[in-house]
């Protein structure tokens, strides 16, 4: 059985002469509007002397402007009743909110003010630096966070993605206010910026808002938008890293190098990720939890970047079970490499993919997040219909060929955090 999904959304991408990009996805019968202000700068763009500055800037944009204090920003967002936040990754910094149509203009006024008119008090800078140091310490106290951070550093060793997004506490303490201003001036510019709307909004209305709150205050020099580049995916060597933490369980991640985010192989790998370890009917859940009772949960994940990608298995268990679980995982990999997946599995998880895309399309924030990331990575939008046609065309032979191309247990990088 196949769930047929027809995409009723049409995304419009407009590139201004100064390189600013506007992305609008009108969604009929929705009451909310999701907004994203994505700046194409992240930890992977930092020099050694700038580590952690992308994330630091994300924090400081909320600490005041030439028009508003940090408290005024907080109060105005609260009055609008909009949920808002921001995140920083290796390749981007994104500020986002969700409002009703009547509130979207004052919301854009706030975000454009933060983007264009950054100004904060020295005391706020010092306090926010301390907050980030506390954030780093908090992550170090969470074994799962340590597990992911160490794997990222191990997997991307020697590349621009090696250091943690938040940077290192000693460096954070050394930065000065001018470092933030210089970094924002350098990177928060039109060709690095994408403004995206999804929901109860028209292209004409979005253009009005951009013309009022952004364009007049930006350089009008003709510039080509920044475009990320696909390079051959890195293939790090198999390694085992043990990180000692006083925990009841060991937290384990096993990662295998795969393709980068631009490869068409990503579709077959995502299908395999679903069937291998993403629900209670998946192979790993049945073999490791249901049959042997070795873990509470076990899952498979995939992370793809511009320069590489990893297929990972994640679990937590008491130390005496760790090696047993690893052996079962390797045995399941051997089995699937030898015998492949089945037609029944392909049909089941293809249906899951269809439903997940349908559910995501019912949330303006998820729709906007998916689309703005696509524009940042590829400067185009792959519609849900296009994506599902690719998935529906995959055969068992196609998926098995991709599995055998990448998933070799001799390539596994392992990080174990705990006793």
The CATH number given to whatever domain includes residue 319 is 3.30.830.10
pLDDT value for 123: 95
Q: Which of 4-18, 89-103, 314-328 has the lowest mean pLDDT?
A: 4-18
- Burial, 245: exposed, middle or buried (Cβ in 10 Å; 0-12, 13-18, 19+)? middle
Tell me what percent of the residues of the chain surpass a pLDDT of 70: 98
What domain count does the chain have?
Answer: 2
On whether both 207 and 254 belong to a single domain, the answer is: no
225 in any annotated domain: no
pLDDT tens, residue by residue, 266-278: 999 999 999 999 8
What is the arithmetic mean of pLDDT over 138-161? Answer: 96
Supply 105's token pair: 């203009």
What is the arithmetic mean of pLDDT over 394-407? Answer: 97
CA distance 88 to 418: 27
On whether both 354 and 213 belong to a single domain, the answer is: no
What is the arithmetic mean of pLDDT over 133-160? Answer: 96
What is the arithmetic mean of pLDDT over 145-152? Answer: 97
5 in any annotated domain: no
On whether both 141 and 255 belong to a single domain, the answer is: no
On whether both 58 and 198 belong to a single domain, the answer is: yes
Residues near 288 by beta carbon (within 8 Å), at least 6 away in sequence: 294, 295, 298, 315, 325, 328, 329
Domain limit, last residue, from 217, 248, 277 = 217
What is the arithmetic mean of pLDDT over 181-190? Answer: 98
223 in any annotated domain: no
CA distance 83 to 65: 20
On whether both 153 and 257 belong to a single domain, the answer is: no
On whether both 267 and 406 belong to a single domain, the answer is: yes
Q: Which of 202-216, 219-233, 301-315 has the lowest mean pLDDT?
A: 219-233
Q: Whole domain around residue 142: which residue ranges? A: 12-217
pLDDT value for 419: 86
On whether both 58 and 172 belong to a single domain, the answer is: yes
Dihedral, 338, 411, 51, 19 alpha carbons, nearest 10: -40
On whether both 122 and 245 belong to a single domain, the answer is: no
On whether both 378 and 245 belong to a single domain, the answer is: yes
pLDDT value for 4: 40
233 in any annotated domain: no
132 in any annotated domain: yes
Beta bridge partners of 303: 310
**Residue 39 confidence (pLDDT) above 90:** yes
Overall pTM surpassing 0.75 (yes/no): yes
Instruction: Please tell me the chain's helix, strand, coil percentages from 3-state DSSP, rounded to the nearest 5.
Output: 50, 20, 30
pLDDT band at residue 252 under the 50/70/90 scheme: very high
**Residue 1 confidence (pLDDT) above 60:** no
On whether both 211 and 259 belong to a single domain, the answer is: no
66 in any annotated domain: yes
On whether both 211 and 264 belong to a single domain, the answer is: no
What is the arithmetic mean of pLDDT over 7-36? Answer: 91
224 in any annotated domain: no
CA distance 6 to 384: 8
Domain limit, last residue, from 185, 217, 249 = 217
Cα-based distances in Å from 402 to 256, 313, 330, 351, 391 = 13, 17, 18, 20, 13
pLDDT band at residue 5 under the 50/70/90 scheme: very low
Pairing of strands 193-199, 93-100: unpaired
**Residue 302 confidence (pLDDT) above 90:** yes
On whether both 326 and 403 belong to a single domain, the answer is: yes
394 in any annotated domain: yes
Domain limit, last residue, from 182, 217, 252 = 217
pLDDT tens, residue by residue, 154-180: 999 999 999 999 999 999 999 999 999
Supply 32's token pair: 């909310």
What is the arithmetic mean of pLDDT over 185-213? Answer: 98
Q: Are 294 and 329 in contact (CB under 8 A)?
A: no
pLDDT value for 28: 86
């Amino acid at each position: 059985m196949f769930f047929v999904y027809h995409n009723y959304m049409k995304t419009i991408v407009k590139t201004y002469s100064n390189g600013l990009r506007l992305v609008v996805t009108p969604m009929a019968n929705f009451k909310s509007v999701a907004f994203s202000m994505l700046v194409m700068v992240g930890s992977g763009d930092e020099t050694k002397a700038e580590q952690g500055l992308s994330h630091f800037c994300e924090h400081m944009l909320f600490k005041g402007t030439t028009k508003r204090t940090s408290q005024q920003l907080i109060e105005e967002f609260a009055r609008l009743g909009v949920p808002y936040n921001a995140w920083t990754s290796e390749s981007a910094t994104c500020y986002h909110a969700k409002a009703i149509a009547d509130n979207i203009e004052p919301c854009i006024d706030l975000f454009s003010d933060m983007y264009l008119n950054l100004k904060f008090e020295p005391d706020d800078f010092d306090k926010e630096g301390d907050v980030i140091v506390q954030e780093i310490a908090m992550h170090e106290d969470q074994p799962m966070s340590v597990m992911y951070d160490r794997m990222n550093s191990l997997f991307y060793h020697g590349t621009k993605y090696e250091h943690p997004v938040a940077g290192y506490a000693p460096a954070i303490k050394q930065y000065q206010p001018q470092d933030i201003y210089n970094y924002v001036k350098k990177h928060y510019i039109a060709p690095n910026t994408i403004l995206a709307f999804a929901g109860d909004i028209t292209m004409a209305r979005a253009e009005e808002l951009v013309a009022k709150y952004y364009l007049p205050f930006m350089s009008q020099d003709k510039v080509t938008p920044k475009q990320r580049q696909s390079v051959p995916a890195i293939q790090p060597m198999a390694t085992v890293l043990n990180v000692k933490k006083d925990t009841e369980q060991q937290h384990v991640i096993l990662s295998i190098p795969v393709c980068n985010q631009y490869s068409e192989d990503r579709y077959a790998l995502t299908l395999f990720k679903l069937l291998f370890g993403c629900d209670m009917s998946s192979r790993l859940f049945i073999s490791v939890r249901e049959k042997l009772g070795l873990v509470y949960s076990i899952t498979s994940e995939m992370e793809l970047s511009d320069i590489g990608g990893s297929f990972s298995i994640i679990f937590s268990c008491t130390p005496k079970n760790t090696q047993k679980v690893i052996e079962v995982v390797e045995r399941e990999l051997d089995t699937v490499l030898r015998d492949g997946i089945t037609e029944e599995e392909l049909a089941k998880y293809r249906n899951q993919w269809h439903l997940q895309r349908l559910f995501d399309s019912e949330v303006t924030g998820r729709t906007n997040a998916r689309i703005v990331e696509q524009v940042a990575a590829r400067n185009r939008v792959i519609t849900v219909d296009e994506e599902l046609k690719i998935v529906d065309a995959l055969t068992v032979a196609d998926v098995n060929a991709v599995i055998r191309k990448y998933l070799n247990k001799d390539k596994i990088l392992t990080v174990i955090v705990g006793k």
